[in-house]
Amino acid sequence: MAEPPALRRPARAAPGYPRGGGRARHRRAPESREVIRVVADSNVYVSALNFGGVADEVLALGRRQAVMLFVSPSILDEVERVLVRKFEWSPKRARQARTLLRAFARTIVPKEKLAVVSTDETDNRILEAAVAAEAQLLVTGDNHLLAPGKFRGIAIVSPRQFLDARVWEAG
């Protein structure tokens, strides 16, 4: 089976590193624009890993560092659980996916415990991650989270809305 799109390594080398490995001798000065801080819901990762499409386009922006993508241990736990339970991935394959996701998404550990969504406790973990990351955007396919449209100043959008807005090009 082919490697899921979300697990593919970026085609270009990370900034400051040549394709062949090792440090580049000359690096470009960093751009002065602000990079958008984004938290993706576990359903975005699961969808990207299984189906590609719009969800994978969201993650591709994180892989290319066009946006700063954040993830929390609880989001990674949920991704791993869903891949094994609902999509019948082997535990080993799900752990490998987790490791590769951590390679391009910055891990944050929320300090604040929230209880704002009573219908789905895992939604609270997503909101905690967005608050801890000081995210500007939370990308989700979950209607419980999409309904309010905003939480503590964090815009809550679907993957399609996120891509259509092209916010990473601003600045």
9 in any annotated domain: no
Q: Which tokens sit at 117?
A: 């969504």
Give pLDDT, residue 139.
Answer: 97
Quick check: is 146 in a domain?
yes
In a domain, residue 60? The reply is yes
Domain membership of residue 47 (yes or no) is yes
Residue 156 · residue 19 · CB < 8 Å = no
- Alpha carbon distance 139, 158 (integer Å): 5
Per-residue pLDDT 10s for the chain (171 aa) are: 445 545 444 444 334 333 333 333 333 334 556 889 999 999 999 999 999 999 999 999 999 999 999 999 999 999 999 999 999 999 999 999 999 999 999 999 999 787 777 677 788 899 999 999 999 999 999 888 888 888 899 999 999 999 998 877 775
CATH label of the domain that carries residue 135 = 3.40.50.1010
Give residue 118's pLDDT.
65
User: Are the beta carbons of 109 and 14 closer than 8 angstroms?
Assistant: no
Which pLDDT does position 4 carry in this prediction?
A: 53
With contact defined as beta carbons under 8 Å apart, do 139 and 145 qualify? no
Residues 6+ apart with CB under 8 A from 89: 83, 97
Domain residues for the domain of 71 are 33-169
Give a yes or no: residue 16 inside a domain: no
Sheet containing 37-40: order of strands? 106-107, 68-71, 37-40, 137-139, 154-157, 150-151
- Identify whether 21 is part of a domain: no
| Residue 21: how many other CB atoms lie within 10 Å | 7
**d(Cα 71, Cα 160) in Å, to the nearest integer?**
20
Q: Is residue 49 part of a domain?
A: yes
Three-class SS state of 84: helix
The total number of structural domains in the chain stands at 1
What's residue 117's pLDDT?
72
Does a structural domain hold residue 1? no
